[in-house]
Amino acid sequence: MQDEDLFRAVVDRSPTATLVCDLDTYALTYANAKALDLLRAVETGQEVAEHGVGDAAPAFLRDCLLVRKAMLASPFAKRLKAEVAVGGEILSLEIEPLRRAGRPVEALVFAGITTDTVSTEAALWHMAHHDPLTDLPNRAYMNARLDALVADGLEGERCLAVLCLDLDRFKLVNDLLGHPVGDILLKQVADRLRSLVQEEDLVCRLGGDEFVVLQTSGTDAERLALSIIEALSRPYTLDGQQFEIGTSVGIALHPRDGATPTDLLKHADIALYTAKKTQRGTARFFEPKLVAGLTARVTLERDLAKALERQEMRLEYQPIYRCDGRTLDSFEALLRWDHPQRGPVAPAEFIPLAEETGLIHEIGAFALRTACAEAARWRQPYPVAVNFSPMQFRRKDLVRTIRRCLSDTGLDAGRLTLEVTEGLLIQNPQQSEKVLRELHALGIKLSLDDFGTGFSSLSYLLRYPFDQLKIDRSFITLIGDKDEATSVVQAILTLAASLKLRVVAEGVEHSGQLLQLAFLKCECVQGYYLGRPMPPGAVRSLIAAKPMEAVTFSKDWVRQAMSVRRPGPTQRKGTARVIPPPSGFPTKS
């Protein structure tokens, strides 16, 4: 006993900082005076009692032991060396396992502040395990920490939670303001994430706008996720402007949602994907049924890749009419997918999937060539409009491909209209302007689709060579029912007239809407009230039919049309009176 007291007295007075840490609880079981001085000197932010008995080990020491625990467990392990950055200093650590019955139960740690020469190794280790932009732990650090946490488990009722998140509209900031400003945004996001977690938790940046939080503090994972969503959704000041982004969070819990690090990360990522698909700005826990949903998506993706080869894709054509009595004006080509098992798949479901996978290039080329070839066979030279995805404009050979398609099919360039959305103009404005001007120089008409939604910046109309605007159906649905919608439509029509742009109002579904648009002097209309999308044979029959008479809005028709309103909240859907189109429009069968 006297020998043990003598040894302890020597260690207490040793000039070398000495600590002992329990490898199961990561609590300090001993720290000499030099170690206490050292911990205070490097500003760990933690009060350590005399000898440190019972205190939790400082975060830097706990992390260091966590990622080296497997090595300490080896029967051949003797003394391990490590260097860590703490509070602006580099600490040199030497770690020995203390065994009982052959099992390492504690770690004996000798610590000291290194010189500049020795600190190079620590600096290199830090660079290899941290993101250079945000200084957050990187994927390598996260993997090592997660491996150790899964292997060790957590004490009591505490649960390990893996939270995956990425940023909504981050690409928009990068495209509008440039990558240097995007980097500033990522640093601000990292700072906000650091401020939300406990010392025991770990925030990591995997790359791009992807982040992971390993939560071990035992607090409620959903509460943390909602705090993250709220904090990251607050405005950011970037380049003198305020921007708002957002995020969704996927959560997986250990061991409920996975026994291995790979499963936990995969399941948290599946939960994140589901949250973004169902409702952005929400947190979603992993559920086994989500795997089935993802499996269905993978199956749909596989089937989509083979759809063209199996000739499951086809086009229908919806007629566009003029309001001034010149009857049929043109057609819009609409892509259809007839799945052999599922039946018709909505474009809103498979077009985004085609864009994500890159299949949109092959599918878009099919739609363009098919529409041009069909229009070239029509007995009358009606124009045809084809929708183009922003993804298609990334192809450097796009102009050459369209020129070759016109040449091969024999369609005059003036009969082709390309419909694009604002997404194209936002994502790559310089390249988009160059390509659009080259296409316009060929004689191709350009239409801005869904105008009135999104940013609808007037600068688009001045900068890009558009010939036509299409008013989004969300305004047409409310026209006549809400004065605000009618005012917006009138303002768009006035603007278009001053810029000498054609206007097509899409989504006309009843006589009241048609009458309002006629009174507002809208040039062209499109919708189920006038004509549904039809197969090529029906288009040819319509074109070959006797030319229609001029549209006449008789007094009786106007009186009936004025009485039509959309069904109210208590009115059963489909019970609204149907007024046939005025004289001059075709009668639907």
Which tens digits make up the pLDDT trace of 373-406? 999 999 999 999 999 998 898 888 999 999 999 9
Q: Is the pLDDT of residue 84 over 60?
A: yes
Residues 319 and 193 grouped into a single domain? no
Q: Is the pLDDT of residue 285 over 90?
A: yes
Given pLDDT bands bounded at 50, 70 and 90, which one contains residue 588? very low
Host domain of residue 113: 2-128
Helix, strand or coil for residue 218?
A: coil
Residues 193 and 341 grouped into a single domain? no
Residue 299 lies in a domain: no
Given pLDDT bands bounded at 50, 70 and 90, which one contains residue 561? low
Read off the CATH number of the domain in which 496 is found. 3.20.20.450
Q: Give the separation between CA 542 and CA 586, rounded to whole angstroms.
A: 9
Q: Is the pLDDT of residue 49 over 90?
A: no
Highest mean pLDDT, choosing among 47-56, 253-262, 580-589: 253-262
How confident is the model over 480-494, as a mean pLDDT? Answer: 86
Given pLDDT bands bounded at 50, 70 and 90, which one contains residue 237? confident
Q: Give the separation between CA 334 and CA 320, rounded to whole angstroms.
A: 13
Q: Which of 70-74, 182-186, 380-384 has the lowest mean pLDDT?
A: 70-74
Residues 103 and 75 grouped into a single domain? yes
Predicted pLDDT of residue 319:
94
Given pLDDT bands bounded at 50, 70 and 90, which one contains residue 584? low
How confident is the model over 472-488, as a mean pLDDT? Answer: 85
Helix, strand or coil for residue 573?
A: coil
Predicted pLDDT of residue 51:
41
Residues 363 and 404 grouped into a single domain? yes
Q: Is the pLDDT of residue 357 over 50?
A: yes
pLDDT digits (tens, 9 = 90+) for 10-45: 777 777 888 888 888 888 888 888 888 887 776 554
Predicted pLDDT of residue 85:
74
Residues 121 and 136 grouped into a single domain? no
- Counting beta carbons within 10 angstroms of the beta carbon of residue 575, is it exposed (0 to 12), middle (13 to 18) or buried (19 or more)? exposed
Using the 3D structure, point to which of 128, 144, 174 is the last residue of a domain.
128
Residue 306 lies in a domain: no
Residues 254 and 326 grouped into a single domain? no
Residue 31 lies in a domain: yes
Question: How many domains, the chain?
Answer: 3
Residue 544 lies in a domain: yes
Residues 339 and 381 grouped into a single domain? yes
Residue 88 lies in a domain: yes
Residues 447 and 476 grouped into a single domain? yes
Q: Give the separation between CA 304 and CA 359, rounded to whole angstroms.
A: 8
Q: Is the pLDDT of residue 550 over 50?
A: no
Q: Which residues pair with 213 in a beta bridge?
A: 163, 203
Residues 144 and 227 grouped into a single domain? yes
Residue 580 lies in a domain: no
Residues 26 and 111 grouped into a single domain? yes
Q: Is the pLDDT of residue 548 over 80?
A: no
Residue 572 lies in a domain: no
Q: How far is CA 567 from CA 156, 316, 478, 570, in A?
A: 59, 29, 12, 8
Predicted pLDDT of residue 572:
42
Predicted pLDDT of residue 346:
93
Predicted pLDDT of residue 574:
40
pLDDT digits (tens, 9 = 90+) for 308-324: 989 999 999 999 998 86
Read off the CATH number of the domain in which 14 is found. 3.30.450.20
Mean pLDDT of the chain: 83
Q: Give the separation between CA 183 and CA 189, rounded to whole angstroms.
A: 10
Residue 302 lies in a domain: no
- CA nearest neighbour of 367 among 422, 440, 307, 444: 307
Residues 62 and 176 grouped into a single domain? no
Given pLDDT bands bounded at 50, 70 and 90, which one contains residue 169? confident
How confident is the model over 256-279, as a mean pLDDT? Answer: 90
Read off the CATH number of the domain in which 222 is found. 3.30.70.270
How confident is the model over 298-309, as a mean pLDDT? Answer: 88
Predicted pLDDT of residue 424:
78
Residues 145 and 18 grouped into a single domain? no
